[in-house]
Amino acid sequence: MKIVLSVLTAVVLMVHAGAQSHYPGQHEGKFIVKDKLIPAVYSFDLQDVKLLDSRFKQNMEREQQWLLSIGANNLLHSFRTNAGVYSGNEGGYSGKKIAGWESLDCELRGHTTGHILSGLALMYASTGDERFKTKADSIVKGLAVVQQALNQDGYLGAFPQELINRNIAGQPVWAPWYTLHKILSGLIDQYLYCDNRQALDIASKMGAWAYKKLRPVTAEQRSQMLRNEFGGVNESFYNLYAITGNADYKWLGEFFYQNETLDPLKEGKDILEKKHANTYIPKLTGLSRDYEIEGKGGGDSIAAFFWNTVIDHHSFVTGSNSDKEHFFKPDDQSGHLTGYTGESCNVYNMLKLTRHLYEHTASMKYTDYYEKALFNHILGQQDPATGMVAYFLPMLPGAHKVYSTPDSSFWCCVGSGFENQAKYGEAIYYHNAADLFVNLFIPSELSWKEKAIKLKQETNFPADGSIKFTVEATKPAGMILNIRYPSWSVAGATVKVNGKKVSVKNMPGTYIVLNRNWKNGDIVEVNFPMTLHLVATNDNINKAAILYGPIVLAGEMGTTGFIAPQPYSNPQLHNDYYTYDYHVPAGIPTSLLISGAKLSDAIKPVAGGKLAFKTVKEGIQLRPLYDIHRERYVVYWDIK
């Protein structure tokens, strides 16, 4: 989301990010309206997947500290001020609202509180740690008091309702429904993951208020107001409908169908150029959710067309998209290697959409993308030194990740980041009645309650391609174990069950299927050899990134020319991430001499270095982009 001007004169600007959603198979008992769609595969609940030690778990632990360190009273401050409720001074409360975008006098106030409610819900589900629930409970209680005090038929916000009225009247406002979406979504997550009934009650009242507010809106007003960014509020209303059975909320979900942007997709037209990416993406997740509930409709094919268009024509090798938040001309990646590529909220939302589409089809292209974007973008979004997160993933040669600060940012991507780092367990495993699907190679332990089976996954991936699974079962159980044979594993695969080699007849891009009666202590070992390869931009075959398996390698370029507070955002400037001066020094190498040589001759592993390589001619060190922090890098090279 872009902040460039005085908020008082704010033109219609676009915000982002999405809601946390229900997925088929999760929280079954909490939905009155059951999904009519029978998906190909179901998610596991986050509670069923525990992360074992890895970089993912370490990211999650840093995130936990950050989540717990922000005071509940500070998160409630703007809401209370808006309602004229005394903020109190208990518990060392500083009496301050939180900073950065949250301190601006505009309708973004409160977005962080919504994301944090989702983040705490996901973290509680992922860990079972009561501290996350206790903290969330106190925020929800505070919001209930505010909603009551506002006494406006259920309206709840940290900004005056007048801004919603202005939005409906077609007057310039920013993105009020975007922020309300984060709050609604956070409350729904509190109900789904933490069983907080008060949160559902607040959300239902917000829904009743919204229905009353929007029911009289004319078609013309509606089309005007939907031009503002509204996040995934349609998805939240569909979820609220499925949870409560109240058809008013379904009407609200449909109200937020924007014909202008969605109808052309129905006709297979790529009209994405110049469109604000993160305004667009969550609209499709809402459509997918509607399709799941109804079991019919065009939502799924529109979403799938959109997804394919973004992935095939508008994305970088990292799975990120956009330049300065906007989609560019199809296939024009090489013209957009700037310091402002790949907004993190976009990836967060693409991954949400990907999960929906994968569950409908079990198609491998979705899992390939999920892995690519998770490892190359989300995992590296967080600075391991501080736990702060980056807004963009710059493709400008010699640029670096720019991290938020604890007390001056609270950008949209900080908000979606609270969720990203809390739900690494969500897409590792899927299942249907008889099959278990292993899609991601992340150290973890799955508990499949219906089968009374546990599966432990141990791996150093992506340092190498070996993965070991151990079955824990109180009595032998039938299960078809499907292990993803990734598309990048072109050098084959080896599989052993209890030490015995199993012949693999499949091709990469399918599942390796092991159908057995599994007993306690059974061990499956797989190995997917990883190889170096180039991935060129769509528009220039000689402009390419280097990958090892699915992992994007980047050239390490040091910190020459850094001027404090580089690589962090400037606390004096809210929009520093958007006009950041990278001070890229002259002479950053951007070409590699590879032509004629085999890649494995031109790039050699560094002895003893985990996932470190060196180019033979230029002597440039290459490491995973996710692991390059607080230093300059190059991703795309001119290949000579």
| Number of helices (H), then strands (E), in the chain | 17, 21
CB 59 within 8 A of CB 382: yes
Distance CA 433, CA 552 (A): 36
Binding-residue pattern over the window 582 to 621 for Zn ion, x denoting contact by CB under 5 A: ----------------------------------------
Closest CA to 399 of 444, 342, 442: 342
CB 258 within 8 A of CB 222: no
Q: How far is the CB of 459 from Zn ion (least distance, A)?
A: 31
Stretch that binds Zn ion, among 8-16, 152-160, 601-609, 619-627 (CB under 5 A): 8-16
Q: How far is CA 458 from the centre of its chain?
A: 24
393 scored as a contact of Zn ion (CB under 5 A): no
Which CB atom, from 42 or from 392, has the smaller least distance to Zn ion? 392
Q: Please say whether the dihedral angle defined by the alpha carbons of residues 373, 375, 377 and 381, taken in this order, is positive or negative.
A: positive
Which CB atom, from 270 or from 343, has the smaller least distance to Zn ion? 343
Q: How far is the CB of 276 from Zn ion (least distance, A)?
A: 11
Give, as ranges, the residues between 209 and 228 that touch Zn ion (CB under 5 A). Answer: none
Q: How far is the CB of 393 from Zn ion (least distance, A)?
A: 12
Distance CA 308, CA 352 (A): 14
Q: How far is the CB of 416 from Zn ion (least distance, A)?
A: 6
Distance CA 23, CA 21 (A): 6
Q: How far is the CB of 64 from Zn ion (least distance, A)?
A: 21
Q: How far is the CB of 229 from Zn ion (least distance, A)?
A: 11
3-state secondary structure of 501: strand
Which CB atom, from 18 or from 555, has the smaller least distance to Zn ion? 18
Stretch that binds Zn ion, among 12-20, 114-122, 130-138, 196-204 (CB under 5 A): 12-20
Which amino acid would we find at residue 245? G
Distance CA 571, CA 577 (A): 10
Distance CA 509, CA 101 (A): 43
Residue with tokens 């007003």: 221
Distance CA 344, CA 391 (A): 6
Give, as ranges, the residues between 286 and 345 that touch Zn ion (CB under 5 A). Answer: 343, 345
Q: How far is the CB of 348 from Zn ion (least distance, A)?
A: 8
Which amino acid would we find at residue 257? Y
3-state secondary structure of 249: helix
428 scored as a contact of Zn ion (CB under 5 A): no
Distance CA 44, CA 444 (A): 13
Quote the longest CA-to-CA distance of the chain. 73
Which CB atom, from 391 or from 430, has the smaller least distance to Zn ion? 391
Which CB atom, from 233 or from 364, has the smaller least distance to Zn ion? 233
Distance CA 17, CA 11 (A): 19
Which CB atom, from 187 or from 277, has the smaller least distance to Zn ion? 277
Interface with Zn ion (CB under 5 A), residue from 106, 116, 121, 413: 413
512 scored as a contact of Zn ion (CB under 5 A): no
Stretch that binds Zn ion, among 168-176, 407-415, 509-517, 518-526 (CB under 5 A): 407-415
Which CB atom, from 206 or from 395, has the smaller least distance to Zn ion? 395
Q: How far is the CB of 343 from Zn ion (least distance, A)?
A: 5
Distance CA 32, CA 250 (A): 13
Q: How far is the CB of 175 from Zn ion (least distance, A)?
A: 12
14 scored as a contact of Zn ion (CB under 5 A): no
Which CB atom, from 347 or from 546, has the smaller least distance to Zn ion? 347
412 scored as a contact of Zn ion (CB under 5 A): yes
Which CB atom, from 18 or from 550, has the smaller least distance to Zn ion? 18
Indicate left, alpha or beta for 485 from its phi (over 0: left) and psi (-120 to 50: alpha): beta
Residue nearest to Zn ion (CB): 345
Q: How far is the CB of 308 from Zn ion (least distance, A)?
A: 23
Stretch that binds Zn ion, among 29-37, 99-107, 285-293, 404-412 (CB under 5 A): 404-412
Distance CA 507, CA 512 (A): 9
Take residue 314 and report the two structure tokens written for it: 């508008």
Q: How far is the CB of 415 from Zn ion (least distance, A)?
A: 7
Which CB atom, from 16 or from 55, has the smaller least distance to Zn ion? 16
Give, as ranges, the residues between 517 and 556 that touch Zn ion (CB under 5 A). Answer: none
347 scored as a contact of Zn ion (CB under 5 A): no
390 scored as a contact of Zn ion (CB under 5 A): no
CB 520 within 8 A of CB 471: yes
Number of residues that bind Zn ion (CB under 5 A): 5
Which CB atom, from 16 or from 377, has the smaller least distance to Zn ion? 16
414 scored as a contact of Zn ion (CB under 5 A): no
CB 311 within 8 A of CB 372: no
Q: Report angle CA 455, 460, 462 to the nearest 5 degrees.
A: 115
3-state secondary structure of 421: coil
Q: How far is the CB of 368 from Zn ion (least distance, A)?
A: 24
Which CB atom, from 2 or from 135, has the smaller least distance to Zn ion? 2
Take residue 521 and report the two structure tokens written for it: 């202590």
Which amino acid would we find at residue 62? R
Q: Which residues bind Zn ion (CB under 5 A)?
A: 16, 343, 345, 412-413
